[in-house]
Amino acid sequence: MKALFIGGIKSGKSFNAEQYILGITTEKKPYYLATTELLDEEMKVRIREHRQQRSERFINIEEPLELYKTLKELDAPVLIECTTMWINNMLYHNQNKEQILEHMDRVLALPQSIVFVHNDVGAGIIPDNALARQYIDISGVVAQKIARECDNVFHCIAGIATKIK
């Protein structure tokens, strides 16, 4: 089983994805794979808040790049928070679109239950710089790829998750 929670920033994606995976998990505690890198003080505060929000309900793993390598070793459902930050990390570490898409194909082929959280970053205007345009384009392609492979897709807005697939 795979599911996607997609929406804008602060739309309630993470909370709804957490509730969803906790609802499908039986005897094993689910994993929470956080992808954000500690690059500045503001991100450290955000990460600390997310860690507190997760508390003891999950087995926490922090991995900014190697999703496939990490996921293939796990034996319980996994929530990935979030794939858009992972794309950011991959670009920051000089990975190109083809490498990102190939990596996501390997992740999607894994047999375990995975819940993806993805920011919908393409609903605004076209940015004036090439890197931002590249990021938005890759994010959109990755979101489509994930949605195609998921059993369930939810759009989140104002804390409400609406099932769209």
Please identify every residue annotated as catalytic: 50
- Give Cβ neighbours of residue 71 (< 8 Å, ≥ 6 apart): 33, 78, 107, 110, 112, 114
- Give the Cα separation of 157 and 78 in Å (integer): 23
Amino acid present at 22: L
* Residue-by-residue DSSP string for 12-25: SHHHHHHHHHHHH-
- Give the Cα separation of 111 and 41 in Å (integer): 37
- Give whole-number Cα distances, 136 to 2, 14, 47, 51, 128, in Å: 23, 20, 23, 27, 12
- Give the Cα separation of 15 and 159 in Å (integer): 8
